[in-house]
A and B are shown apart, each in its own frame.
Chain A
Amino acid sequence: MSTHYTATAKALHWVIAVLIFGMLGLGFYMTGLDLSPTKLQLFSWHKWVGVSVFVLVVARLAWRVTHRPPALPQHMAPIERLAAHAGHHLLYVLMFAIPLSGWLMSSAKGFQTVWFGVLPLPDLLAKDKALGDLLQTVHVTLNYLLIAVLLGHIGAALKHHYFDKDDVMTRMLPRRGD
């Protein structure tokens, strides 16, 4: 059995990782701007990339359920295994819920999402200011939760590499021949 993730799983992991960090930065930056053409442009880009991340996460999950990842190291205690599984489940849930909440928020606020300015996504919610504000709170709160889970994810990977000295982090890194 392979000790590495498949090249596809790695590619999806790192592309999504880069996009998520970019989106977190962009999201916090753009919401602080005064209204300007630049702000409208950044919001549109944020929404386009958000939809793209959602599509990539669907692909990622489809790949994950059809390709068993390498097993966890033997030394891990049951509680650590549980934490690892819970953390990854939460990451998948958030990677779905965050773009979804952004899309619904846009609909409720009356700003339809048109992917890359070409493909209009249906508005699942009618324009409703109160609901839009609520969904904005949901979107922001889920992102704070994501940041917390990501810190745990990165911290755990580094712990595995530097303290446990196992291959949990390196098996997700690109290698020659992938």
Chain B
Amino acid sequence: MKRFAIALFSTLALATSAAQAVEYNQVQADKSQIAFGYQQMGVSMDGSFKTFSSQLRFDPAAPEAASAAIEVELASVDTGSAEGDEEVARKTWFNTPDFPKARFESTGVRALGGNQYEVAGKLTIKGTTRDVVVPATFTPQGDTGVFEGSLTIQRGDFSIGEGAWKAFDIVVNDVVIKFRITAAAK
């Protein structure tokens, strides 16, 4: 009986420590998406980025220790038309030859209760860095977890759309960035 109790106790202890050590950090690129949406003369438009890399560490038991860094290849943009893809690579938009990547790097994570989190960080696009706070949810799915959220930025803050595109009457200022990142636990 005593031996059984010790065995039970050590199993429980092991299980508990294993649960604490769950850290989602293996990003599955094929199950992750970064998309965006905006309005153009009253029409809702959307697009996405096909190539981006991300590193993240997230332990639900210790969310404040989590971190994320995402780098988006801006040339991999899909605006829905070849003409649009070429246009946004130009100097007036992303200027991808000079600024090929957009980067988000977290500076702190706050748990809001439930599966809601707030990820503070620095967003750099086209040489401009801004502090942003990204609301995100985390949903465990078996041995993987899905991080989802969206963030509205103003394209004018990052000089995205200069010259003739600078006015917001045709293409509005607000751009919603939506992400869904799937990561496996190690």
Chain A positions within 8 Å of B, measured between CB atoms, are: 35-38, 40-41, 44, 109-114, 116-118, 120, 127
Contacts and interface: CB of A to CB of B under 8 A. Distances in A.
B171 interface: yes
B81 A40 contact: no
Interface of B: 40-46, 80-81, 83-84, 86-87, 164-165, 167, 169-171
A44 B43 CA distance: 9
Most chain A CB inside 10 Å of its own CB: which residue of B42, B80, B165, B170: B42
Contacts, number: 43
A35 B83 contact: yes
B45 A118 contact: no
Contacts of A37: 164-165, 167, 169-171
B118 to A, nearest CB: 32
A117 B40 CA distance: 9
Contact of B170 (A40, A111, A116, A127): A40
Contacts of B167: 37
B42 to A, nearest CB: 3
Contacts of A109: 80-81
A37 to B, nearest CB: 4
Nearest to B81: A109
A111 B42 contact: no
Contact of A117 (B42, B86, B87, B171): B42
A123 to B, nearest CB: 11
B89 to A, nearest CB: 12
A41 B41 CA distance: 7
Most chain A CB inside 10 Å of its own CB: which residue of B43, B81, B84: B43
B87 A35 contact: yes
Given A110-B80, A114-B41, 17 more contacts: A35-B83, A35-B86, A35-B87, A37-B167, A37-B171, A40-B41, A40-B171, A44-B43, A109-B80, A110-B45, A110-B46, A110-B81, A111-B80, A112-B44, A114-B42, A114-B43, A120-B43
B169 to A, nearest CB: 8
A112 B37 CA distance: 13
A51 to B, nearest CB: 13
A109 B44 CA distance: 13
A44 B169 CA distance: 13
Contacts of A111: 43, 45, 80
Contacts of B45: 110-111
The 9 closest A-B pairs by CB, nearest first: A117-B42, A37-B170, A110-B80, A44-B41, A114-B42, A35-B87, A114-B43, A40-B170, A35-B83
